[in-house]
Amino acid sequence: MSAAHPPRVVCSGIIVTDHVCAPVGHMPAAGELVLTDTIDLTLGGCAANVSTALAKLGTEASLVGRIGDDIAGVVVRELLEKAGVDTRGLIRSEGIATSQTLIVNVQGQDRRFIHTYGSNSRFVAADIPVEPTPEILYLGGYLLMQGCRPEELAPVLKKARANGARTILDVVTPGKADYLPWLEPVLPEVDYFLPNDHEGQLITGLSSPLEQARLFRDLGARHVLITQGDKGTLWLGDNLHLEADIFRVPFVDGSGSGDAFAAGLILGLLENRPPVETLTLASAVGASCVRALGTTQGVFTRAELDAFLAGNRLTVRTNG
């Protein structure tokens, strides 16, 4: 991408090969064989999901992240290129496998994940390009990539913002840990912070999403959007407090819905929509994802999104 034509959006961060099963009736006991309709090999990981969703929505997206020198890395590149994602930012790491996740869906229960870090463990802040500067720089999967250190990430985000980019940070929290030291130097350089309520509680120890959002704002994030599954979304910003319900759609698989939400948010920001419209758009794209198995298969095209919004309304409450 030449300096004269920088990408509108750079999606950086984790890239994963997902092995995901259609919902089964119960978890197998030791030695038990449980049948499922399908087991799909699909793209996963925040950066791959968001870039793929944006491509489906007709928005240019450049992906930056690490794959391994294995067959899974070849599959990832082919799937991304087929989806229309700019893959020139993919970095092939030698001597390590591509990150993979086994996703087990059980009817009526939340998903279960088995994950290997793989090549994502080698992702560092210096991998993130800030020149040419995109309109939006997204980093997804922070806190899962131990090589992406806060003291190195903060200057990268600061430079991107100084050059005119809006920065978006999403996280993945692999269990209990002391995450605040990883966020305190970084959040002052973040325009939009996107944890879900479970991640927010692990990070802060607070059960209230509103209290979580207030703490993240106190730490420097300009806007905090906390997704809460079927309870909707909280958005706290400068003189802004929104709470939204969700769009009710047939549910198949929740994998990737938060990343689809992020793609919808990015689309709304690129189109300079006001916050209520942006939140509505993000919620619609997030909802579209759960209609199909996998992280991106159900995501709307732009025509489907426009048709859905024309026929459905979202309740968004303005507080404060």
Tell me how many domains the chain contains. 1
Report yes or no on 102 lying in a domain. Answer: no
- What span, in angstroms and rounded, lies between the C-alpha atoms of 311 and 83? 27
Is residue 61 a contact partner of residue 47, using CB atoms and an 8 Å limit? no
Give the structural domain span for 52. 9-13+45-65+84-89+121-318
Average pLDDT over the chain reads 94
Domain with residue 231: its CATH number is 3.40.1190.20
Residue 18 lies in a domain: no
**Residue 2 resides in a domain:** no
Reported as a single tens digit per residue, the pLDDT across 185-228 is 999 999 999 999 999 999 999 999 999 999 999 999 999 999 99
Q: In what order do the strands lie in the sheet with 112-116?
A: 39-44, 16-21, 100-104, 112-116
Tell me, yes or no, whether 231 lies in a domain. Answer: yes
Q: Per the domain annotation, does 39 fall within a domain?
A: no
What is the model's pLDDT at position 164?
A: 96
141 in a domain, yes or no?
A: yes
Amino acid of residue 93:
S
What does the pLDDT average to over 168-175? 94
**Rounded to an integer, what is the distance from CA 162 to the centroid of its chain?**
24
> What is the tens place of the pLDDT at every residue in 80-96?
999 999 999 999 999 99
Q: How many CB atoms lie within 10 A of CB 170?
A: 26
Residue 255 domain-assigned (yes or no):
yes
Q: In the prediction, which pLDDT does 320 show?
A: 58
CA gap 315, 106 in Å, rounded = 30
DSSP state of 274: -
Q: Could you tell me the pLDDT band of residue 122, with boundaries at 50, 70 and 90?
A: very high
Q: Give 292 or 236, the one with higher predicted confidence.
A: 236
Helix (H) or strand (E) holding 161: helix 150-162
**Residue among 258, 80, 265, 269 nearest 172 (CA):** 258
- Measured at the CA of 133, the angle between CA 127 and CA 135, to 5 degrees, comes to 115
* pLDDT tens per residue across span 281-319: 999 999 999 999 888 999 999 999 999 999 999 999 998
The confidence band for 171, taking pLDDT boundaries of 50, 70 and 90, is very high
Q: For residue 268, what pLDDT is reported?
A: 98
Q: So what's the pLDDT on residue 2? A: 46
Residue 1 pLDDT class (50, 70, 90 cuts)? very low
The yes-or-no verdict on residue 3 having pLDDT over 70 is no
In this structure, is residue 74 part of a structural domain? no
Question: What does pTM read for this prediction?
Answer: 0.93
What percent of the chain lies above the pLDDT cut of 90? 83
Q: What is the DSSP string of 79-127?
A: HHHHHT-EEEEEEE-TTSPPPEEEEE-BTTS--EEEEE-GGGGG--GGG
Q: For 22-76, write each residue's pLDDT tens digit.
A: 889 999 999 999 999 999 888 899 999 999 999 999 998 999 999 999 999 999 9
What pLDDT sits at residue 4?
Answer: 53
